[in-house]
Structure 1
Amino acid sequence: MEEKHIKYYSHHLGRDIDMLVFGNWGYPILLFPTTLGRYYQAKDMGLIESVRGLVESGKYKIYCIDSMDADSWYAKHLNPEARVLNHIQYDKFLDQELVPYIRHECNVDRIGVAGCSFGGFHSANFAFRHPSAVAYLVSMSGAFDVRSFMDGFYDDNVYFSNPVDFMPNEQSWRFNHMKIILGTSEWDICLNSNIKMSDILNTKGIDHWLDIRGWEKHDWPLWNRMFPEYLSKMM
């Protein structure tokens, strides 16, 4: 399985962002790490190995992106307004720099996004904010409400970064093309978050698959089983 390390310079962030890219060709999946995770986390925790066959066969090319959580949602040394503004810059980097680069490199109109835990939030938030750029969303044990990070602060930037707030007011036709998977389990600490997100999508008439597994915990063994199954069924 080909592996390539890239330092992508972002003009919006004013710095390099590290990525690991797996595969020579295939449909692109932008994979976000968990809370405060780094670009090599998915490799270290076995998530990339779980889809080795799909990557080596040329079905998928996976872009493992670095997070900016330490400078945004988890940056307790910053005031809440600065935290969310840093996330907005990260979102602009993704939307206006990285995703167009991936679409061009892979010759596709839309990409897939995926992530586990807080990476599930990042993948869902990006897909729901920018549906014209995303065809496939795979969230595993994601949570979709960031208000707990804001210490009571709330503005338009928080609203548009919080899927449980803005999705009830979205127009459902914008998501008709998207295949959406919300994966969770009976013992998952994010089970209720996924049920709530599913209820919102159902109310809007947005087609999706809420997959609730048996008695498994919010951890890598669960996600390493989910990911290859979801990618196999996705396309």
Structure 2
Amino acid sequence: MHESLINFYSHHLGHDVKIHVTGTRGYPLVIFPTTLGNYTEAKDRGMIESIRWFVERGFIQVFCPDSINHSSWYGDIHPKHRVERHIQYDRFLAEEWIPQIRHNGGTGRIACAGISFGGFSASNFAFRHPEMVSHLFNLSGAFDIKSFMHGYYDDNVYFNNPVDFMPNANNPDLWNMKIVLGTSNWDICLDGNLKFSEILRRKNIAHWLDVRGDVEHDWPLWLEMLPHYVSMI
């Protein structure tokens, strides 16, 4: 598989963002890393290898951007500045980088996948910008970041916390998105996925709540999930 590394300068963040790219053509799939994972995590953990068949045939092109979780949600800063820093990252995605790849597949949209805390990153972006996202694959992801706020709450928190803003969201593109919430009976994020599935159900937003068997919240589960979900693109 062809691999390349992009150093994309973000004016919103004020620094380069590393992006690992696999493949040269196909529908753009953006994979967000776990809690403090980076742009090579999906490759290093075997996630890219698990979807080799789709990449080699030009069905998908995979983009793995670096996260800034270490300086936002997990940063040693006031919660107000944590969410503000994340908003800068969201603007990098929505205004600077994603516009350059969203037409690669001919639809003007991308597919998003996220693993564990990366599931929050993928879901938050997809639900905030559904006009850009055709497919969302949340692999054992979270949907609520209030635990990072230590009681602090403002409009920025609300609009970056899917469990809060989604019940009132009304962008018609939300009803056109293909959504998978992947979890398992032993997943630490099972309850969060069940609750978020209920939010989507109440809004009549079609989705697949994929609850797998007795498997832990770990890479073997996600390596099994990803090829299945990618086959839906």
TM-score (norm 1): 0.97
Pair 1:35 & 2:35 matched: yes
Once the two structures are TM-superposed, the CA of residue 177 in structure 1 deviates from its matched residue by 1.3
Once the two structures are TM-superposed, the CA of residue 173 in structure 1 deviates from its matched residue by 3.0
Q: Distance in 2 between matches of 1:166 and 1:224?
A: 30
Q: Distance in 2 between matches of 1:31 and 1:45?
A: 13
Pair 1:151 & 2:150 matched: yes
Aligned pairs (5 A) from 1:105-184: 105-171=104-170, 173-184=172-183
Q: Distance in 2 between matches of 1:174 and 1:104?
A: 17
1:131 is paired with a residue of what secondary structure?
A: coil
2:176 is paired with a residue of what secondary structure?
A: coil
Q: Corresponding residue for 1:26?
A: 26
Aligned pairs (5 A) from 1:185-196: 185-196=184-195
Residues 108, 173 of structure 1: CA spacing in aligned structure 2 closer, same or farther, 3 A cutoff?
Answer: closer
Structure 1 stretches of 4+ moved >3 Å: 104-108
Paired-residue identity, %: 57
Once the two structures are TM-superposed, the CA of residue 24 in structure 1 deviates from its matched residue by 1.0
Once the two structures are TM-superposed, the CA of residue 144 in structure 1 deviates from its matched residue by 0.4
CA contact (8 A) 1:172 1:206 kept: no
Instruction: Compute the RMSD of aligned alpha carbons.
Output: 1.0
* 1:53-76 deviation line (CA, Å, top 9, x unaligned): 11001110000010010110001x
1:49 is paired with a residue of what secondary structure?
A: helix
The count of residues paired between Structure 1 and Structure 2 equals 233
* 1:148-190 deviation line (CA, Å, top 9, x unaligned): 0011100000000000000001126331210000000000000
CA contact (8 A) 2:103 2:109 kept: no
Q: Corresponding residue for 2:101?
A: 102
CA contact (8 A) 2:178 2:206 kept: yes
* 1:26-74 deviation line (CA, Å, top 9, x unaligned): 0001110000110000000011110011100111000001001011000
Once the two structures are TM-superposed, the CA of residue 107 in structure 1 deviates from its matched residue by 4.1
Segment of structure 1 superposing worse, 10-19 or 102-111: 102-111
- Give the aligned residue type for 1:112: A
Q: Distance in 2 between matches of 1:10 and 1:86?
A: 13
Gaps of 5+ in 1: none
CA contact (8 A) 2:112 2:136 kept: yes
1:132 is paired with a residue of what secondary structure?
A: coil
1:176 is paired with a residue of what secondary structure?
A: helix
Q: Distance in 2 between matches of 1:106 and 1:89?
A: 26
* 1:106-154 deviation line (CA, Å, top 9, x unaligned): 5431111001100111101100000001000000000100000011100
TM-score (norm 2): 0.98
CA contact (8 A) 2:20 2:63 kept: yes
Q: Corresponding residue for 2:92?
A: 93
